[in-house]
A = this chain, B = another copy of it.
């Protein structure tokens, strides 16, 4: 970071759901903190809200688990940090999916950034590309494979597995959750699509506004018939003509999203001046999501020095 970006980041506070919190305005020793956490240390101290109130950081990095119905506690954390004049970086889908207008306005009021690259496709540079390289053109549509579980299920069925067999395998591999219903029903993809709708297309949706049909509507016979006709089923999240949907769709094998296999994610944006631009990359993973936080921190560094 010093050599290539002429900067470094000092971590002045950590709040962990289990271990408690650490604060040091001169900077914490990260290796020591991680080793302590791994050894089961209990730090006690403030809860997350207390840490945000007590520390003097420039940026809050928020990485609590997503509650897609309320956006809490993440939204409260973001709000509190912005009020205290911090930039906010979050990997949590809740705040941008449910409270984007409010939080973006709050950030703008305080002259700060509210960034969340990790909320959609983890560290794959989708939001930053839409904000930078594609900012000069109008986006007319967005189609994406935004959920790794459902794409893994379809890909495995194309290879001849049954739905139940593929789901069991995905659960064993840690791709699908033990309760896969939110993924299968398209709820997770709907939250990510809502973020794209509100942030990139200037809409004002909630996940409940997204029309949905579950990936399990596609039968083995449907998949067989598609293959025979040179086509593929994909569980596609789409924004088009002001409507948002997550539906099983039949794509030509030559469609850029038809070639996206397994847990990889991809988004195609239809633009006024370039036609279609597609970005394909990893959509999950611990390192990949941590990288999204770093990418947002570097963007803040570039913008504010």
A228 at the interface (CB under 8 A from B): no
A62 at the interface (CB under 8 A from B): no
Q: A132-B132, A136-B291, A298-B136 are in contact. Are A124 and B274 (CB under 8 A)?
A: yes
Interface string of A264-305 (1 = CB under 8 A from B): 100000000111111111100001101100110011001000
A129 at the interface (CB under 8 A from B): yes
Q: Are B281 and A281 in contact, CB atoms less than 8 angstroms apart?
A: no
Interface string of A52-71 (1 = CB under 8 A from B): 00000000000000000000
Interface size on A, residues (CB 8 A): 42
Q: Are B274 and A288 in contact, CB atoms less than 8 angstroms apart?
A: yes
Q: Give A123 to B277 CA distance when docked, in angstroms.
A: 10
User: Contact check: which of B128, B260, B280 meets A129 at CB < 8 Å?
Assistant: B128
User: Contact check: which of B124, B136, B295 meets A294 at CB < 8 Å?
Assistant: B136
User: Contact check: which of B4, B256, B261 meets A280 at CB < 8 Å?
Assistant: B256
Residue of B nearest to A273 (CB): B291
Q: Are B261 and A123 in contact, CB atoms less than 8 angstroms apart?
A: no
**Distance from A32 Cβ to chain B, minimum over Cβ atoms (Å):** 23
Interface string of A104-130 (1 = CB under 8 A from B): 000000000000010000111100110
Q: Give A122 to B128 CA distance when docked, in angstroms.
A: 19
Q: Are A129 and B133 in contact, CB atoms less than 8 angstroms apart?
A: yes
Q: Which residues of B contact A291 (CB under 8 A)?
A: 136-137, 273-274
A17 at the interface (CB under 8 A from B): no
Task: Name which of A254, A280, A290 has the most chain B CB atoms within 10 A of its CB.
Answer: A280
A259 at the interface (CB under 8 A from B): yes
User: Contact check: which of B132, B253, B294 meets A299 at CB < 8 Å?
Assistant: B132
Q: A133-B128, A288-B274 are in contact. Are A279 and B279 (CB under 8 A)?
A: yes
Residue of B nearest to A281 (CB): B277
Q: A133-B128, A298-B135, A298-B136 are in contact. Are A282 and B287 (CB under 8 A)?
A: no
A258 at the interface (CB under 8 A from B): yes
Q: Are B133 and A117 in contact, CB atoms less than 8 angstroms apart?
A: yes
Q: Give A123 to B281 CA distance when docked, in angstroms.
A: 20
Q: Which residues of B contact A254 (CB under 8 A)?
A: 259, 261
Residue of B nearest to A127 (CB): B133
